Structure 1
Amino acid sequence: MEVDVLEFLVPVENNKTLFVWDIQPVHTEAEIYERLFSVFSSFGPLYLLKVSSNAPLHPPGFSALVKFYSAAQASEAQRRTDGCLLFQTSPLKVRLSSKQTPHFLSDSSRPLSHARCLELANHCLGFNGWTSDIITLKELTNKEEEEEGGGGRRRRLRFGCLLQLSFPPHRQTTRGAAVVEDSFTCTGPDVLLQKRCKLQKQVREKALVQAFTTVLLILLGNGKVMVEVKQTSDQFLPEQIEGVLQVNEFSWSEFDPDEEDGGDEEWDLTVS
């Protein structure tokens, strides 16, 4: 039985990437996108579909880049669509990528975004195939800093979240934690409230993303999906969460390159 393993990571491997050529200019770019998406998404969930016009020195037409999460699904899609007419009167040329992956990307393990995690989980497991529950969400820092001109004061907020991700049909559970912070000019209680709501949403989403990075989706040849959880040295166990959880040296730069490292402070996520 053929088995493929999906992780909640950005796919960078060549065997998950297809190039499509010889697309006739008889449809608009938006129409071509819809038709290609309909064709290739029937083989499995897509991470990316991009349609581009041919370069000026080439004949009029389009080409496309298709990225799958699964190498097996990409291979099947290539075999079954290459040389086919699909939605036009001449055959399409579909090939697996042969472009050499840069060394700095070959071992890349960048997590999917929050929206992509939800999309992949719902596609493979269904809306009832998984649940997430917040164990604790705490405001860790609320400090006023130096006063600025215009009557506003600088304020720094930091939130921490511990979340549990469960897959009841598969009897699997994992957990994720996140810390986010922001420094801003507070000109009134409405600004403070909006910032609190925004940070609480961000920290919940980052905790869920972190939990999904430990999950493996095992696609079986008969169409069924199994869920396994990677055992890591820093994985949270149920008996370790009672009382106080302390998160040390928590860096989220890998999830948000624009976010500065918060340093080596120790955060207390007490479960009340």
Structure 2
Amino acid sequence: MEPEVLSFTIPVESNKIVFVWNITAQLPEGAIYCSLQEVFCQFGPLYSLKLFPNAGVAEPGYYAVIKYFSSQSAKRAQASCNKKNLFQDTPVKVQICVKQKGFPYKSLELYGHRCRELANYYLGFNGWSSRILAMQNITGLDYDPEEESEPQEPSKLRYLCVVQVTLPSHGVFSRGVGVAEESIEKQNDPLEVISKTEKLQKFSEQRALSNAFQKILLVVFDNGKVAVEYVTGEDATVDCLTEEELQGLIQVNDFTWTPLDPGGVEDEEWAELTFHEDTLVES
């Protein structure tokens, strides 16, 4: 079997989605959720697990939609769990989705802390490291005196972070840039500035970590071994500069501001996903 190539992006392929149904209402909903997570995380890291009640016309119970990072994990889960009792007295049905209606097949950046989880699983806690090369307040860096005559917008607080991810055993390192901004409603309120500064620093670091991982691909073999491939991004300047040159670049470069909105993507995805038995691979 060919090795599977995994990227540090939100999985959108249908063959990474597992449907579980015929879940009875014998246990409380919270207990069912925990049981599902305990069973299905054995086959690989989960991106998400959603538990839904059956439609009103059906018998009381639940069905679940589980999204893996790896299609091989989804296959193993289906083969091992379909028509098994698992955590209840009756067997559940487990199948893989093969088609979706209106679902966007495009790469979406994986948030920083999820990149950490994926790297820890496939590379090990000691198989990689990250460090902040720069964290800078860049508020007013794009200030243009000629725009003073235009209506004033709320004051913006902006932070930029540069993170380096290193995979020592693979001889790979990658740098990422994250920029975040947010409006300051009360410019004379130091507590608001302090609170939003801390928030923006964390968010810009997460975005920088995510950006660094976008250049790394994991090649996963059947025997469990993992190879790493570095893919040069559209702008490899950040990776080529020394740390001193990097600091100078921050002073003059113009970056795209990213509003502080770490959520939202997941809800849009689930809104496009519909459960029909004709979307499943039959065993």
Using structure 1 for the length normalisation, give the TM-score: 0.82
Look up the match of 2:97: 97
Match of residue 120, structure 1, among 101, 118, 121 = 118
Q: Given the alignment of the two structures, is residue 224 of structure 1 paired with residue 209 of structure 2, yes or no?
A: no
Query: What is the Cα deviation at residue 65 of structure 1?
Result: 0.7
Look up the match of 1:59: 59
Pick which of 134-143 and 23-32 moved more. 134-143
Aligned equivalents of 2:119, 2:130: Cα separation in 1: 12
Aligned equivalents of 1:252, 1:84: Cα separation in 2: 46
Pick which of 80-89 and 14-23 moved more. 80-89
Tell me if structure 2 keeps the 8 A contact 1:75–1:96: yes
| 5+ long unaligned stretches in structure 2 | 149-153, 265-283
Tell me if structure 1 keeps the 8 A contact 2:75–2:96: yes
Tell me if structure 1 keeps the 8 A contact 2:9–2:109: yes
Query: What is the Cα deviation at residue 50 of structure 1?
Result: 1.1
Look up the match of 1:263: none
Match of residue 131, structure 1, among 120, 129, 132 = 129
Look up the match of 2:194: 193
Return the structure number with greater strand share. 1
Aligned equivalents of 1:255, 1:229: Cα separation in 2: 28
Aligned equivalents of 1:25, 1:67: Cα separation in 2: 22
Deviation by residue 1:22-68 (Cα, 9 ceiling, x = unmatched): 11221111111111111111000001111111111101211111110
Pick which of 76-85 and 11-20 moved more. 76-85
Aligned equivalents of 1:21, 1:140: Cα separation in 2: 51
SS in 2 for 1:95: strand
Query: What is the Cα deviation at residue 75 of structure 1?
Result: 1.2
Return the structure number with greater helix share. 2
Equivalence map 1:1-272=2 (5 Å): 2-102=2-102, 105-106=104-105, 108-141=106-139, 155-184=155-184, 185-236=186-237, 238-241=239-242, 242-243=244-245, 244-245=248-249, 247-248=253-254, 250=256, 252=258
SS in 2 for 1:128: coil
| 5+ long unaligned stretches in structure 1 | 147-153, 259-272
Query: What is the Cα deviation at residue 228 of structure 1?
Result: 1.8
| Residues 254, 181 of structure 1: alpha-carbon distance in 2 compared, 3 angstrom cutoff | closer
| Residues 195, 255 of structure 1: alpha-carbon distance in 2 compared, 3 angstrom cutoff | closer
Tell me if structure 2 keeps the 8 A contact 1:174–1:236: no
Aligned equivalents of 1:191, 1:92: Cα separation in 2: 51
Query: What is the Cα deviation at residue 238 of structure 1?
Result: 4.6
AA of the residue aligned to 1:24: T
Relative contact order higher in (CA < 8 Å, ≥ 6 apart): 2
Tell me if structure 2 keeps the 8 A contact 1:175–1:236: no
Identity of aligned residues (%): 38
| Residues 187, 59 of structure 1: alpha-carbon distance in 2 compared, 3 angstrom cutoff | same
Q: How many positions carry a matched residue from both structures?
A: 248
| Residues 131, 72 of structure 1: alpha-carbon distance in 2 compared, 3 angstrom cutoff | same
Tell me if structure 2 keeps the 8 A contact 1:111–1:255: no
AA of the residue aligned to 2:204: V
SS in 2 for 1:19: strand
Query: What is the Cα deviation at residue 74 of structure 1?
Result: 0.5
Tell me if structure 1 keeps the 8 A contact 2:174–2:239: no
Two-structure CA RMSD over aligned residues (Å): 2.6
Query: What is the Cα deviation at residue 253 of structure 1?
Result: 7.0
Query: What is the Cα deviation at residue 101 of structure 1?
Result: 4.4
Query: What is the Cα deviation at residue 249 of structure 1?
Result: 5.2
SS in 2 for 1:141: coil
SS in 2 for 1:84: coil
AA of the residue aligned to 1:68: Y
| Residues 222, 257 of structure 1: alpha-carbon distance in 2 compared, 3 angstrom cutoff | closer
